[in-house]
Amino acid sequence: MTLRAFGRTGVRVSPLTLGAMMFGAWGNPDHDDSIRIIHRALDAGINIIDTADMYSRGESEEIVGKALAGGLRDEVVLATKFHAPMDDNPNHRGNSRRWIIREVENSLLRLRTDWIDLYQVHRPEPGTDFDDTLGALSDLVHQGKIRYIGTSTFEPSAIVEGQWIAQRRGRERVVSEQPPYSLLARGIEREVLPVAQRYGLAVIPWSPLAGGWLTGRYRKGVELPVSGRSQRTPGRFDLTLPANVAKLEAVEQLALLAEEAGLSLVHLAIAFVLEHPAVTSAIIGPRTMEQLESQLDAAKVTLSPDLLDRIDTIVPPGTTINTADGGYEPPSLTDPAHRRRTTVGPE
């Protein structure tokens, strides 16, 4: 695979990133099979692996660590994330300095490594001072435990804030953003991708296959598959919701378009994400070897301007059909207390 610049870091990565979310209890519980998939991806030219502490409560990191043992670690750009709850303790989660300093040690142990190339804040946490988060991460960079700092599913204002904090307060700079991006979820084209380009950030989008919607398994007249992902995030899959009905209609049109172009829907979907000039590497998340093989050649596909124009008529630029596919809703929208003045009665 032809390597691409990872922002302004000087690091070069493959156009496909191997996502490890499906290795472990959430997807493929067979560690040996998962390791074979990882090794096949590396043999095919992929040199960046992305996981997270939360994936199967650490099991994904353990599998990746085993796969990279025996000399492979140095050849891989290894990325993981923190933020989500790891147990019922309210302090074993989030973006606080207290948790970051502890959880990085847990990830290092699970990954069987002395350093993490890219340590990412998995989601924003408005109640925690971002400067405190970046301060803790900067300390880890200075200690040699992590090389670079990234974010995932951050809004453009938060991305800019991170750059401002680094400049004004002497923190290490965030070098990458990992947003959701697919043929069905194009919202980041409005601001996130232009902001990333402005600040020279690498962009490694998650879910280019829209959580499975663009694999070819979701078609009209076909019984829709039930998966762990659909059970964890039903709002993205429930066909009683009008937004998901609209997604199914778009998928039908995109599948026909792919067929006319002589492409699989999988290749069309991944190639579309890789076509954007702001995108560095698209994260693929196979559960089986068959799924991996079906995605590897997508990096070789080039989409014509005419084909891209036709895609735009189906899902217009900047459009996310179902907002649940955006991956994050800020408290300003989800918590009524942020949107309504409290009426205080007489004492």
Catalytic residues: 55
DSSP letter (8 states) at residue 9: S
Which residues, including other chains, have CB under 8 Å from residue 29's CB and lie 6 or more apart? none
How far is the C-alpha of 111 from the C-alpha of 63, rounded, in Å? 8
Are 214 and 254 in contact by the 8 Å Cβ rule? The answer is: yes
User: By the 8 A CB rule, do 283 and 205 touch?
Assistant: yes
| 3-state secondary structure at position 121 | strand
Which helix (DSSP H) or strand (DSSP E) does residue 282 occupy? Answer: strand 282-284
CA 321 to chain centre: 18
CB 114: neighbour CB atoms within 10 A? 9
As given in the structure block, the two tokens for residue 108 are: 């290092």
Distance of alpha carbon 218 from alpha carbon 212, whole angstroms: 8
Residue 160 sits at φ, ψ, to 5 deg, of -65, -40
Helix, strand or coil, per DSSP, at residue 120:
strand
> Is residue 181 within 8 Å of 188, Cβ to Cβ?
yes
What are the φ and ψ backbone dihedral angles of 60, each rounded to 5 degrees? -60, -45
